[in-house]
Structure 1
Amino acid sequence: MDAIIATRLSYIAETYQLLPATHKGGRKLRSTEHALHYIIDRIYDAWNKGGGMVASLLLLDVSGAFDNISHRRLLHNLRKRRVDEKTVRWIASFLGERQTEFSIDGFQSEPYKLTTGEPQGSPLSPILYLFYNADLLDRCSQDENTAATGFIDDVAILAWANTTEETCTLLQAALREAEDWASSHASVFAPDRFQLTHFTRATSRIDTSTPLQTRWGVIKPKPTCKYLGVTMDSKLRWRQHIDEMERKVSKTIAALSCLGNSAWEVRTKEMRTIYRGVAMPQMMYACSAWSNAGWPDNGYTQKTLRKVQSLQGRAARVMSGAYKATSLRALDVEMHLLPIEQQIWKHNIEALDRIGAPPMRPTRQAQRRRTKTSPREAIQKTIHDREVNNWTQEQIDPFVAPPWWQGPQTYIEETAEKARKKHLDLLRQGKAAIHIYTDGSGINGQIGAAAVSPTIQQTRSSFMGTENVSTVYAGELQGISLALDIAQQDRVEGYRRSKVIIYTDNQAAIRSSARPKGTKLAD
């Protein structure tokens, strides 16, 4: 039941924009890369303003974030952000009457009632915490030179100005707002785990040693900080992150080498699956930020590319048992691995597709002032340079339909004989219905869709493009859409039929029509 409420709460939060847009975690179609690029884009924007501003990042840490949630304050925040009363009351009941007990060295305490916290592991916990600390992000972003973003309980505050003294003043004001929020929400910050970093490439002009004065003491800036698993250095050169990633992947490859021992009897195919499922995500994590997309334009990036290529080469030798001098290209081919530069390009395209392209600059003069290019802009520029001028993005909604929406009644028979029998039954029983047959197909590299209704002698067809831009599955869905167009036109012309019965031979398309998820095509 809590999973159902979590889905419904997420739906109303996204549909009616009940949460700050800067809350990136625990939400559909958002990831850590959204939060990272939100920060990185604003750092580059600051660097491109005037003579080059400095951006200071403060990472907050809340002790026992989920365990210290005040139930009364959470319910108040839900009502404040316009969640319906029935849902709020259900959540109050869900959080109430919770008990716990301690067992230490054989001693068992009596059960006692919990008035704070929420059950970790419940699908409802992340979305509830977003509502709980949403005010924190709003209050820390009040100044026009300050921005706050959150990934569930990880909150980052970024301030930009001409000097680090000014940015620290802005961060102090934001931190006071954060303290007020904490006092009213029964939350406790852990200042010993705060991180402060001044981002600038003009180290001779800007003092990067300016500390932040707080009521807990002085927070000294560090040349690097770790945010959402990514090590960010003050110049955004990413050397430290690459080194850390290399160490992590090397350990994975060493473990893979142990599995390759004959005693374990792990086959090459299984080792490749482990490599792609463990080592590859470790390498590719947030590469849309650190790869900068334009490999040929930066010497250090070429060095980084060689490092990552070397990691894949080592893994391929472990999996295949090849000699050390074997060509990396040959190893990629033999082990059916996508070359690293292509893997990074693929990841960057997918990341830009999820996050969205950077905003267009209004004038050429404004564009010329941008002497430093953010990773997102670099990816976009590479796409343009490759002459993909007609590349457009489709807006994907988090929810295609409300969670409570009931889809059409569907029938998928086990055999062709049963399907033919069901078809005849529907024809006999549905004489007052409109019957429409659809299909999607690919012929000679061309994808098309069609719908035919013998009931009213109507047809529709659509060309979906080549197989490079479309699929047969998309054609099947388009065929169903054309069928609905025929039914709608029939209704506009004044016919009031009791049913619309659509026949198609693609089971995946039938299931998608009944329970659409995350795609405009199935809307």
Structure 2
Amino acid sequence: MLMTNKLKYDTPVLTMGGVDIGYSNEIKILGLTIDSKLTFNSHVADVCKKDLNIYKQLSRAAKITWGLHPEVIRLIYVATVEPVIMYAASAWAEATKKLGIQKHLNAVQRGFAQKLTRAYRTVSLNSALVLAGILPLDLRIQETAALYEARKRAPPPSLRDAEIERVVAYADTPHPAEHMDLQFISLADQQQVEEHSNYAVKIFTDGSKIDGKVGAALSLWDRTSQFKAVKLKLSQHCTVYQAELLAICRATRIIRDRRETSFGIYSDSRSALETIVNSNAPHPLAAETRSNLSHCKSQNKLVSLFWIKAHAGLEGNEQADKLAKEAAQTLKCKPHFDLCPVSFVKRQIRMDTLEE
């Protein structure tokens, strides 16, 4: 297949073993139909036809049962229709700006919007979409393509100054034979905390987000009292989850540089701890934490991870929570962590779509 947008061109003549090789106008690769002019008209027509068949089957079922519930129709639309159409959207999203492609997409979406709102056939598509609470398909496809671009290449125009948080490449992770068998212990009350406090240094970590400001903190304790506090600032677009991971990561970095041989890390974020103990989790902060723990193990240091209940009156946890809130509200310095999470990028792209 010869792909070009030129109006006039000389068609190359190809032969193999004295036999002419013919040209194709379309090639289907991994479910995506590519035409020689890169219009993607055939691909859109095929997926729309497939979705219209789904709509007809839904209509027959609705007639038998006196109409399906709108939420059931919405579930069918979100879980089946949209994914079929948006397959490989990043490759052909530009085509949705053409009027002919939009007509194909509107024909599919109109039927579902009418059934969701139970409106007359004469209702306008825009009104039905607004009442149904679903976005136009052409904008959803462009949204999916923008998210793919942000994950792989560059963030959207509204976030040009931000660096996207990217997962750790598989080639940069330790060999499976070198994975550590990490576990954390859940502690429900003060008594259990005291039973698991026989460490030279105990480090309580916490993260906080208040009024759009994000902070994390560490409270270092010896046998009896706090002897050091560390406050960390994160960018406004960061999440509490990132703050919790950053605090634990910084704790392992401190442990790596100290001389004591036994340490306990106490966090009230179960999700952060589960990410760290999962050797396949590709989050960069979790990967760095596991690397620090591996280094500590080579130094013959004992490091234990604990989950403790938040706001349960545990002295170390309450102190770490107080420090994290102070870090979020009062700390004025360059952020210690400023990578933009994909969830924030996704939310920003959705806001741009809604505005359009």
Above 0.5 in TM-score?
Answer: yes
Is residue 243 of structure 2 the alignment partner of residue 243 of structure 1? no
Does the residue aligned with 2:100 lie in a helix, a strand or coil? helix
Q: How does 1:326-405 map to 2 (within 5 A)?
A: 326-357=123-154, 383=156, 386-399=157-170, 400-404=173-177, 405=179
Cα deviation, residue 522, structure 1? 2.1
Partner residue, 1:99? none
Partner residue, 1:109? none
User: Paired residue for 1:325, among 118, 122, 125?
Assistant: 122
Q: Is the 8 A contact 1:256 1:318 kept in 2?
A: no
**Alpha-carbon distance change, 514 to 226 in structure 1, aligned in 2, over 3 angstroms:** same
Q: Is the 8 A contact 1:460 1:482 kept in 2?
A: no
Cα deviation, residue 218, structure 1? 4.3
Deviations 1:295-333 (A, max 9, x none): 4xxxxx243234324422322222332222334444334
Q: Is the 8 A contact 2:276 2:286 kept in 1?
A: yes
User: Paired residue for 2:233, among 443, 463, 467?
Assistant: 463
Aligned partner of 1:436: which letter? Answer: I
Deviations 1:148-169 (A, max 9, x none): xxxxxxxxxxxxxxxxxxxxxx
Q: Is the 8 A contact 1:450 1:462 kept in 2?
A: yes
Partner residue, 1:173? none
Provide the C-alpha distance between the structure 2 equivalents of 1:335 and 1:411, rounded to a whole number of angstroms: 47
User: Paired residue for 2:84, among 282, 303, 319?
Assistant: 282
Deviations 1:396-432 (A, max 9, x none): 334345444124320235xxxx3433212111xx233
**Alpha-carbon distance change, 313 to 206 in structure 1, aligned in 2, over 3 angstroms:** same
Q: Is the 8 A contact 2:203 2:220 kept in 1?
A: yes
Cα deviation, residue 391, structure 1? 4.2
Deviations 1:366-419 (A, max 9, x none): xxxxxxxxxxxxxx8xx4xx4543143444334345444124320235xxxx34
Does the residue aligned with 2:214 lie in a helix, a strand or coil? strand
Is residue 221 of structure 2 the alignment partner of residue 454 of structure 1? yes
Q: Is the 8 A contact 2:51 2:84 kept in 1?
A: yes
Provide the C-alpha distance between the structure 1 equivalents of 2:158 and 2:150, rounded to a whole number of angstroms: 17
Is residue 185 of structure 2 the alignment partner of residue 421 of structure 1? no
Cα deviation, residue 443, structure 1? 0.9
Provide the C-alpha distance between the structure 2 equivalents of 1:271 and 1:419, rounded to a whole number of angstroms: 47
**Alpha-carbon distance change, 436 to 328 in structure 1, aligned in 2, over 3 angstroms:** farther
Provide the C-alpha distance between the structure 1 equivalents of 2:96 and 2:102, rounded to a whole number of angstroms: 11
Partner residue, 1:440? 207
Q: How does 1:207-226 map to 2 (within 5 A)?
A: 207=11, 210=13, 212-215=14-17, 218-226=20-28
Deviations 1:157-187 (A, max 9, x none): xxxxxxxxxxxxxxxxxxxxxxxxxxxxxxx
**Alpha-carbon distance change, 438 to 260 in structure 1, aligned in 2, over 3 angstroms:** farther
Does the residue aligned with 1:288 lie in a helix, a strand or coil? helix
Provide the C-alpha distance between the structure 1 equivalents of 2:31 and 2:81, rounded to a whole number of angstroms: 15
User: Paired residue for 2:10, among 206, 222, 247?
Assistant: 206
**Alpha-carbon distance change, 314 to 515 in structure 1, aligned in 2, over 3 angstroms:** same
Cα deviation, residue 465, structure 1? 2.2
Q: Is the 8 A contact 1:242 1:304 kept in 2?
A: yes
Deviations 1:312-368 (A, max 9, x none): 2322222332222334444334434234344223211222134435xxxxxxxxxxx
Report sequence identity in percent.
Answer: 25
Q: Is the 8 A contact 1:260 1:271 kept in 2?
A: no
Q: Is the 8 A contact 1:513 1:522 kept in 2?
A: yes
**Alpha-carbon distance change, 282 to 442 in structure 1, aligned in 2, over 3 angstroms:** same
Q: Is the 8 A contact 2:39 2:95 kept in 1?
A: no
User: Paired residue for 1:412, among 172, 178, 186?
Assistant: 186
Is residue 285 of structure 2 the alignment partner of residue 514 of structure 1? no
Partner residue, 1:229? 31
Q: Is the 8 A contact 2:94 2:142 kept in 1?
A: no
Is residue 251 of structure 2 the alignment partner of residue 477 of structure 1? no
Q: Is the 8 A contact 2:241 2:272 kept in 1?
A: yes
Provide the C-alpha distance between the structure 1 equivalents of 2:143 and 2:117, rounded to a whole number of angstroms: 25
Does the residue aligned with 1:260 lie in a helix, a strand or coil? helix
Gaps spanning 5+ residues in structure 2: where? 288-356
Does the residue aligned with 2:27 lie in a helix, a strand or coil? strand
Q: Is the 8 A contact 1:436 1:454 kept in 2?
A: yes
Is residue 78 of structure 2 the alignment partner of residue 305 of structure 1? no
**Alpha-carbon distance change, 333 to 496 in structure 1, aligned in 2, over 3 angstroms:** same
Does the residue aligned with 1:412 lie in a helix, a strand or coil? strand
Aligned partner of 2:204: which letter? Answer: Y
Aligned partner of 1:205: which letter? Answer: Y
**Alpha-carbon distance change, 252 to 463 in structure 1, aligned in 2, over 3 angstroms:** farther
**Alpha-carbon distance change, 294 to 220 in structure 1, aligned in 2, over 3 angstroms:** closer
Q: Is the 8 A contact 2:151 2:164 kept in 1?
A: no
Cα deviation, residue 225, structure 1? 0.9
Does the residue aligned with 2:51 lie in a helix, a strand or coil? helix
Higher relative contact order (CA 8 A, sep 6+): 2
Aligned partner of 2:180: which letter? Answer: Q
The number of aligned residues is 280
Q: How does 1:142-157 map to 2 (within 5 A)?
A: none
Provide the C-alpha distance between the structure 1 equivalents of 2:138 and 2:119, rounded to a whole number of angstroms: 22
Provide the C-alpha distance between the structure 1 equivalents of 2:215 and 2:107, rounded to a whole number of angstroms: 44
Provide the C-alpha distance between the structure 1 equivalents of 2:94 and 2:18, rounded to a whole number of angstroms: 38
Partner residue, 1:292? 94
Q: How does 1:105-124 map to 2 (within 5 A)?
A: none
Provide the C-alpha distance between the structure 1 equivalents of 2:19 and 2:229, rounded to a whole number of angstroms: 75
TM-score (norm 2): 0.69
